[in-house]
């Protein structure tokens, strides 16, 4: 483990004293998600009128931040997020938060190669153990990387942070400059969204593909929750977990005995994740659980590591796909709504895994201002960001079917995508495809020999 040596022994100070270190023009880092400080945030917000041009990097903000609430015009603080949460999306819309494009698995390297040093880093941690280690809890992500490049490192302790085992999932007191005591309030919870009939239909198609010993990566949302529910009753055995985000659905599979990790090649018997966000029940189940390993994203998300497990099944959602198979999962035109996250890296890692499968899922339609529109389109919405390239897409799933795009020509891909669209839009999509010469007249109409489709 890299040990950052503090200039003086760690000193206990108040949140107000810690906030006094910040100067106009400084760069700060609040870590991410459940690792964000609260007492320090309030103390810094109280100094808003004294400061200008303070940049704060964070990600996946789990609750309102006082520095943004007291500065609605962004005159004093500006927020830079690696992946927008619903709260950060609103602040981005208001012009006081900005997205930093990323592959989540590369972020530790960004800090080490391109972004340091950071003037002040503040991370929420458990109080130090008998050996002087402050555990990060269920938020490893890139915590070690920001510590390495911190000019001033402050830890905010909280007894609410569950202890999570992991690879380098702690910071030693010898690396810390200052310690402030937090408020010990319960960690913010993330409620699981309701599961719709369309979610269940999509989940049914994915669940039918599962095999004993599959290693799961699964995203957040109603559809992934539905997949977990179906797997619980599917008879699947010895599933593993190597994922970016640990969700309630995955924890429930573990508690039901369906996830054992017994057939994993990497970290057998362990469920590996980079961060957890869900219910208090999940946080309690994580606490000192030796079957759970919380690791940095350069371990969980890099394709050459993901592929070391066999039968990696990666399940992620998107919001729009074009007829050639490009997935736009993070923006609505030029409006950023989330981030690339781990989708593209897990698509590659799952494909490279022996027996692995990558699934990109979406409902066929959505409604905007009372008008129903197709999520499968000839051209992506102008400005939409391509999250996963057409060449990285393997399986695509809607409530109308499941198809594989690997190895297909452009006309074959187009026909396959049209088959997944809502029936009300297929004729128009077919016409648009012909007019755009995506399906040339000379192309043989039958399926190419050897191609395997699974379209309902």
Helix 197-207 to helix 222-232 angle, to the nearest 10 degrees? 50
Among 275, 16, 246, 270, which Cα is nearest to 143's?
275
Residue 303's alpha-carbon distances to 297, 329, 378, in angstroms, are 11, 19, 30
Residue 448's alpha-carbon distances to 153, 302, 407, 439, 443, in angstroms, are 60, 34, 10, 14, 10
Pairing state between β 371-374 and 365-368:
antiparallel
Separation of alpha carbons 388 and 392, rounded Å: 6
| CB atoms near residue 22 (< 10 Å) | 23
Cβ within 8 Å of residue 324, ≥6 positions away: 390, 410, 413, 414, 417, 438
Separation of alpha carbons 441 and 334, rounded Å: 35
> Annotated catalytic, 16?
no
DSSP classification of residue 174: G
Q: Is 19 exposed, middle or buried (0-12, 13-18, 19+ CB in 10 A)?
A: buried
What SS3 state is found at 259?
A: strand
C-alpha distance across the termini of the chain, in Å: 51
Separation of alpha carbons 237 and 231, rounded Å: 9
Which of 102, 175, 244, 330 is the catalytic position?
Answer: 244
Q: Is 373 exposed, middle or buried (0-12, 13-18, 19+ CB in 10 A)?
A: middle
Q: Is 445 exposed, middle or buried (0-12, 13-18, 19+ CB in 10 A)?
A: exposed
Separation of alpha carbons 232 and 253, rounded Å: 6
Q: Are 137 and 125 in contact (CB under 8 A)?
A: yes
Burial state string for 379-400 with b = 16 or more CB within 10 A and e = fewer than 16: ebbeebbbbbebebbbbbbbbb
- The residues annotated with a catalytic role in the active site are 244
């Amino acid at each position: 483990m890299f040990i950052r040596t503090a200039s003086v022994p760690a000193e206990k100070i108040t949140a107000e004293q810690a906030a006094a270190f910040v100067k106009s023009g400084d760069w700060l880092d609040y870590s991410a998600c459940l690792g964000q400080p609260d007492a320090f945030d309030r103390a810094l917000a109280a100094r808003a009128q004294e400061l200008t041009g303070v940049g704060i990097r964070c990600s996946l903000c789990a609750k309102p931040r006082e520095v943004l609430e007291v500065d609605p015009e962004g005159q004093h603080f500006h927020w830079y997020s690696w992946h927008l949460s619903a709260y950060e999306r609103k602040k981005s819309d208001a012009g006081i938060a900005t997205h930093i494009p990323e592959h989540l698995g590369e972020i530790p390297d960004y800090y080490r190669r391109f972004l340091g040093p950071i003037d002040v880093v503040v991370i929420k941690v458990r109080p130090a153990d008998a050996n002087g280690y402050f555990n990060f809890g269920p938020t490893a992500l890139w915590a070690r990387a920001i510590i390495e490049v911190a000019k001033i490192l402050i830890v905010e302790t909280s007894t609410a942070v569950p202890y999570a085992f992991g690879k380098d999932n702690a910071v030693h007191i010898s690396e810390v400059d200052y310690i402030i005591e937090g408020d010990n309030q319960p960690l913010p919870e993330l409620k699981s969204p309701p599961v719709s009939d369309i979610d269940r239909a999509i989940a049914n198609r994915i669940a039918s593909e599962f095999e004993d010993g599959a290693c799961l990566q699964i995203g957040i949302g109603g559809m992934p929750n539905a997949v977990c529910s179906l797997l619980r009753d599917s008879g699947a055995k010895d599933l593993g977990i190597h994922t970016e985000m640990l969700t309630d659905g995955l924890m429930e599979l573990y508690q039901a005995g369906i996830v054992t990790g017994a057939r994993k090649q990497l970290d057998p018997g362990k469920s590996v994740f980079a961060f957890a966000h869900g219910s208090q029940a999940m946080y309690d189940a994580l606490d000192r659980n030796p079957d759970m390993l919380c690791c940095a994203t350069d371990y969980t998300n890099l394709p050459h590591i993901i592929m070391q497990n066999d039968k990696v099944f990666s399940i992620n959602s998107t919001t729009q796909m074009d007829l050639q198979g490009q997935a736009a999962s993070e923006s609505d035109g030029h409006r950023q709504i989330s981030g690339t996250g781990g989708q593209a890296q897990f698509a590659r890692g799952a494909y490279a895994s022996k027996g692995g499968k990558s699934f990109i899922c979406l409902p066929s339609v959505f409604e905007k201002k009372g008008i129903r529109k197709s999520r499968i389109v000839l051209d992506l919405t102008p400005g939409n960001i391509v999250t996963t390239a057409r060449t990285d897409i393997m399986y695509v799933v809607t409530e109308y079917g499941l198809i594989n795009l690997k190895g297909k020509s452009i006309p074959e891909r187009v026909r396959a995508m049209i088959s997944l669209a809502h029936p009300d839009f297929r004729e128009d999509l077919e016409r648009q495809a012909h007019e755009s010469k995506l399906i040339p007249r000379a192309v043989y109409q039958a399926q190419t020999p050897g191609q395997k489709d699974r379209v309902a």
